[in-house]
Amino acid sequence: MNRIAIVTGSDRGMGKETALALANNHFTVIMACIDIPNANITCAEIKKRSGNENVFVKKIDLSSIASIKQFVQSFLQDFDHVNILINNAGIVTMKHEITEDGFGNIVAVNTIGPYLLTKLLIPHFPAGEDNRIINMSSWIYKFGKFSIDKMNKYHYVKAYAVSKYAQLLITLELADELKEKGITINAANPGTVRTTIMYTNNRFYDFIIDMLMAPLYISIEEGARTGIYLATSDEVKNKTGNLYHKCRPVVIPKRDNNKILRTKLLRYYETIYKSIAEIHPRCPG
């Protein structure tokens, strides 16, 4: 069976490196991106560098439920299954906005959108195959303690930390359910990567932050390595429900692995999902 991978935010940065690595590993790669002109340029580059013509671009805006549904519908018109889903796309911005669906923009893109995309695609992971989901977390999750009723009210760095902590918690919470369906799910902490996400706010003091952070930065290639490892290595074929950094599992402190909060978060996300499942023709019942 042709192995198919979806990588969100793969027109640049770590997503681009990940898509290239998967193309080099003979996957059919779907680049799920919001910036289609740039994604088309990147797609052409990946095809040329990998020699793999089975690389395609499809539009998705993870801040929009309608766009997520449209992406899934478009994907299913062209493909009948998916083996790898890498929820890579993420944003951090000083501007706190509420999306058309009523969510904070950072939380929507970094965790609610990826969850809805994951849920809509779960029925299309084939039985008996090596199926994997990789969610991008971050070391900053440690600063992301949150209350669910305030999730969409956090701003800037706090909102980013909340979104990454939520993404980690939902990864842990889904592991048992997805294992029964033959799907592994793990989170990747790429480290402090010098990517474009660090330069999207046009602040006059960006250069000062850059100087202070310079000794901590790692390259995009190094940052992408853990996600690529989780997507392709036989060493983690049956491993699930873990956080990885530098291609190794990380022990999550008990204080950060709050089962009560995990359950509440899943219930909150499921409420959102059920509100769209009724009108999505290919949602599970």
Residues annotated catalytic, as ranges? 160
Q: Write the CA distances from 186 to 13, 176, 231, 271, integer angstroms.
A: 20, 11, 10, 23
Retrieve residue 80's tokens.
């009948």
Residue among 199, 171, 180, 151 nearest 256 (CA): 171
Residues paired with 189 in a beta bridge: 245
Please tell me the distance from the alpha carbon of residue 168 to that of residue 278, in angstroms, as a whole number.
Answer: 27
Q: Write the CA distances from 177 to 4, 230, 268, integer angstroms.
A: 22, 19, 17
Judged by DSSP in three states, 104 sits in strand
Q: Write the CA distances from 163 to 25, 90, 92, 212, integer angstroms.
A: 31, 9, 10, 24
Please tell me the distance from the alpha carbon of residue 2 to that of residue 26, in angstroms, as a whole number.
Answer: 9
Length of the chain: 285
Please tell me the distance from the alpha carbon of residue 27 to that of residue 246, in angstroms, as a whole number.
Answer: 23
Contacts of 124 (CB under 8 A, 6+ apart): 76, 80, 81, 82, 282
